[in-house]
Structure 1
């Protein structure tokens, strides 16, 4: 009876639920070293018409390959708005080739891309992006939200990354209004994700615990702090001593730190915006770094997790690092 009930529940939940993952295999990349390295890029989704890419996307892709070759990258976090401006319509959409496969061509970027959806993706068919995981060797999008677990090589330490669908959680946003999501399309799906997140955070014993989504918790730029996430997510980040929250949505690079949690905005993969209208809407002294200058030509973040530290380095597409910060592993009471 219990098995039948579980089966029925699973069928009803469908693709929106993803149970805790096993530890991911770093393969040969995990030998003879003591860290995990990865890139973080958001809002990288090209254009819906020819040439299907922006100059910023092309240059950012090239520099991602350079940095991955020099500093290493075991995987990439792709944090939404993967296809401008209305996502894709099917798993056979040519956009997968035009905006992804034919752009990120460096051999150093032929690693797993762990994907979440952004507001522009939700304007199209997110299930088609999930299904593309079966057609691509590197596109890893198993569910709307999911958990990744890693062993940091030769250290005995662990890293967990919880990938969220913040559009499902909060609703889509209207960039022509105040850009704040109004309400989730399905309150049931939003609550199911929140309950899942609470459970995963409460259970986590990872030495480094990251949460990633599309919408920002804190941002000084056009979209500003996301009210829904301040209410639903921020208390959980603080309660469970999360190391950092990673996102995109605003088209620039930001680093904020508040009450021991790092907030990474990496949304410069395709466009740039130096808007700072919400400069005074974040906690005092929390903003440590910001750039949206067109002269940077795009940007992304390189992360390295060692046995005791998380190193975050911000890169501009024209080939130099802009900012670096360090976060310590979690402390358990």
Structure 2
């Protein structure tokens, strides 16, 4: 990852959640922050800003610790917020806190304890406000490319599959505001699904931890452009009218590449 980062001259890194496995952080002084982040990503090319969202495993620990500015004092690269927007000039990235959309975590937590501070006692209002804020930001956006990043998948053939709450509530916004890419983690694989009903590309980059599960729900040859049940990562490069996505294995070998160009009309 460090070698590819140097080759591409990356501007920043995006983490799709489950930042600290298996049960998040115990607090701001938890040594896991150094052991699983600062002391791991030491390559010179990775000394850039990291933008992170929370995953369901992060919610099983001290959620507020990961959001705390105290961690940024320990490692200035770290930035994790619930939902936020990054304006990277021609690209605008909308980060979404997807874990509260999954009803099963509230109804049947399977013996796990979740830290819902900031979400409960009114989960529905939390989600409604978040969607309203996202829509407002998308309405104002003049970026050439729009990307949405969340932990859970909207479309996936991996172990977890599609996330029903996101399909119902978030996907319509992506379609209405012509989002180009939806990038997620959660499923421990690398995956590219092209939506036949729109121009949205669904990209799973969850190959940073567990992998090789051998658990594929279904294969739709028309939509699934790539699936790799192993460890790895992805990159995204943008110009005004061009995007190039690449998936890599842990050795930096390109496993899949996707390129698209599109025309933009001047507002003048």
Alignment of 1:262 with 2:201, yes or no, is: yes
Pick one of 283, 302, 318 that aligns with 2:235.
Answer: 302
How far residue 274 of structure 1 moved from its aligned partner, in angstroms, is 4.2
Q: Deviations over 1:9-51 (max 9, x none)?
A: xxxxxxxxxxxxxxxxxxxxxxxxxxxxxxxxxxxxxxxxxxx
Corresponding residue for residue 227 of structure 1: 164
Partners in 1 of 2:186 and 2:32 — Cα distance? 20
3-state DSSP of counterpart to 2:37: helix
Q: Does the CA contact (< 8 Å) of 1:78 and 1:113 recur in 2? A: yes
How far residue 72 of structure 1 moved from its aligned partner, in angstroms, is 1.7
Corresponding residue for residue 165 of structure 1: 97
Q: Deviations over 1:74-117 (max 9, x none)?
A: 10001100011110021111111111111111011100000100
- What is the TM-score with the length of structure 1 in the denominator? 0.71
Q: Does the CA contact (< 8 Å) of 1:149 and 1:161 recur in 2? A: yes
3-state DSSP of counterpart to 1:129: helix
Q: Does the CA contact (< 8 Å) of 1:207 and 1:330 recur in 2? A: no
Partners in 2 of 1:172 and 1:139 — Cα distance? 29
How far residue 172 of structure 1 moved from its aligned partner, in angstroms, is 6.1
How far residue 276 of structure 1 moved from its aligned partner, in angstroms, is 4.2
Alignment of 1:148 with 2:86, yes or no, is: yes
Q: After superposition, where does 1:10-29 map in structure 2 within 5 Å?
A: none
Partners in 2 of 1:136 and 1:209 — Cα distance? 28
3-state DSSP of counterpart to 2:2: helix
Alignment of 1:238 with 2:188, yes or no, is: no
Corresponding residue for residue 26 of structure 2: 89
Corresponding residue for residue 322 of structure 1: 255
* Count of residues in Structure 1 that have an aligned counterpart in Structure 2: 251
Partners in 2 of 1:213 and 1:330 — Cα distance? 27
Partners in 1 of 2:33 and 2:154 — Cα distance? 29
- What is the TM-score with the length of structure 2 in the denominator? 0.87
Pick one of 124, 130, 137 that aligns with 1:200.
Answer: 137
Partners in 2 of 1:175 and 1:168 — Cα distance? 12
Q: Does the CA contact (< 8 Å) of 2:241 and 2:264 recur in 1? A: no
Alignment of 1:69 with 2:3, yes or no, is: no
Partners in 1 of 2:174 and 2:100 — Cα distance? 18
Corresponding residue for residue 128 of structure 1: 65
Q: Deviations over 1:117-146 (max 9, x none)?
A: 0000001112111112343210012x3110
3-state DSSP of counterpart to 2:218: coil
RMSD between aligned residues:
2.1
Q: After superposition, where does 1:244-255 map in structure 2 within 5 Å?
A: 244-255=181-192
Bigger relative contact order (CA 8 A; separation at least 6): 1
How far residue 328 of structure 1 moved from its aligned partner, in angstroms, is 3.5
Q: After superposition, where does 1:102-141 map in structure 2 within 5 Å?
A: 102-131=39-68, 132-141=71-80
Alignment of 1:313 with 2:251, yes or no, is: no
Corresponding residue for residue 212 of structure 1: 149
